[in-house]
């Protein structure tokens, strides 16, 4: 990414992450792919391009305009981070169906962008301080969302939110269309291809490791926790 951003005179530093996000708020229930056809949803960027292939009409709407757009029926659904942020925005009052997961944002990274010329002019000690502060911010932000989202989700459910997983056919179609779109972008954009190939290789390695350690551990602990409550 730094090789890419150098051409724009920018030095990026990772400076935050929300963890996996929710799939969004829907005014009507989604039982399968057919229910997405013609649905107007606030969802930007590449995720919007993917979901458009499923029949959704993506809408680019600024954060402050999402609630009134949902309230007026200008849009039928909206994705926006997770429970902690959603609770403050009040979406539960007008769109009860709360779907997960946000497959397009499994771990969205926030970055600090520094003018490259100014960055290069900084003393090495100042660079180290800024890098360290950004690393601390990343750990703090991820921990804060992990700590605050569960309680916010419980309060949203108490307020009437109906928390549901996306249907299997929606998830599979979204995955298939995403992979197709990424391949098309890589074929037509050398810069995208460079980043995408490096990311894909790393993802595949991590998937192997997570399948052996992280995922089985999480599934086992979750099952045991549920059984202990019965």
The three-class DSSP label of residue 109 is: strand
Q: Report, as ranges of residue numbers, the positions in the chain whose pLDDT lies below 50.
A: none
- Provide the whole-model pTM: 0.93
Locate 108 and state its tokens.
């969205």
C-alpha distances in Å from residue 140, one per residue of 17, 47, 121, 187, 218: 9, 26, 28, 37, 22
Distance in angstroms (rounded) separating the CA atoms of residues 228 and 222: 10
Instruction: Tell me: do 166 and 221 sit in the same domain.
Output: no
* Domain extent at residue 13: 2-188
Number of domains within the chain: 2
Q: Residue 165 has what pLDDT?
A: 98
Instruction: Tell me: do 227 and 135 sit in the same domain.
Output: no
Instruction: Tell me: do 153 and 205 sit in the same domain.
Output: no
Instruction: Tell me: do 7 and 87 sit in the same domain.
Output: yes
Report pLDDT digits (tens) over 204-218.
Answer: 999 999 999 999 999
Instruction: Tell me: do 155 and 180 sit in the same domain.
Output: yes
Q: Residue 151 has what pLDDT?
A: 98
């Amino acid at each position: 990414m730094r090789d890419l951003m150098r051409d724009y005179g920018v030095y990026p530093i990772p400076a935050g992450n929300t963890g996996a996000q929710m799939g969004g708020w829907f005014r009507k229930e989604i039982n399968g792919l057919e229910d997405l056809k013609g649905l107007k949803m606030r969802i930007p960027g590449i995720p919007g391009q993917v979901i458009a292939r499923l029949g959704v009409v993506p809408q680019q709407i600024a954060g402050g305009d999402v609630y009134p757009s949902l309230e007026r029926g200008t849009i039928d659904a909206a994705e926006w981070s997770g429970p902690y942020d959603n609770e403050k925005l009040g979406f539960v009052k007008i769109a009860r169906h709360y779907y997960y997961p946000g497959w397009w944002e499994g771990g969205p990274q926030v970055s600090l962008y520094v003018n490259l010329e100014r960055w290069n002019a900084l003393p090495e000690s100042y660079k180290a301080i800024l890098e360290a502060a950004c690393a601390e911010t990343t750990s703090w932000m991820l921990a804060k969302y992990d700590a605050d989202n569960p309680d916010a989700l419980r309060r949203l459910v108490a307020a009437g939110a109906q928390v549901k997983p996306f249907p299997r056919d929606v998830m599979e179609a979204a995955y298939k269309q995403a992979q197709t779109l990424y391949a098309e972008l890589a074929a037509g954009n050398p810069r995208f291809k460079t980043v995408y190939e490096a990311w894909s290789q790393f993802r595949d390695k991590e998937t192997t490791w997570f399948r052996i350690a992280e995922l089985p551990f999480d599934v086992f602990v979750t099952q045991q926790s549920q059984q202990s409550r019965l």
